[in-house]
Amino acid sequence: MGQVTIYLDDDSEAKMKAAAKASQVSTSKWVAALIQQELSEHWPGEVRELAGAWPDFPSEQELRQDKTADTPREDW
């Protein structure tokens, strides 16, 4: 398991410690959870629950019915 050293200003450190304490975890576990969350390739549950939440939202077919040809791109 790797270790990382970070430097924080006093205000950020105090906020981090307060947030970790409120979550009832060590500051190390709190920071590790943030990093894991940021690197996650999955949508959060709150976002996934929104799928289909708007019954009047157009379907994929309705959105693409007026699809025109894409603009040609320049070669890199």
- CB-CB contact of 34 with 26 (8 Å): no
Q: What is the pLDDT, as a whole number, of residue 38?
A: 87
Q: Could you tell me which residues come within 8 angstroms of residue 20 by beta carbon, excluding any fewer than 6 positions away? A: 26, 27, 29, 30
15 closest CA partner among 36, 23, 37: 23
Q: How confident is the model at residue 6 (pLDDT cuts 50, 70, 90)?
A: very high
Whole-model pTM above 0.85?
no
Whether residue 14 is predicted with pLDDT greater than 80 in this model: the reply is yes
Beta carbons within 10 angstroms of residue 11's beta carbon: 8
Task: Tell me the HSE value of 46 on the side-chain side, using a 13 A CA sphere.
Answer: 0
Q: What is the pLDDT, as a whole number, of residue 31?
A: 96
Question: What pLDDT digit, counting tens, does each position of 20-66 carry?
Answer: 999 999 999 999 999 998 898 888 888 888 888 888 888 888 888 88
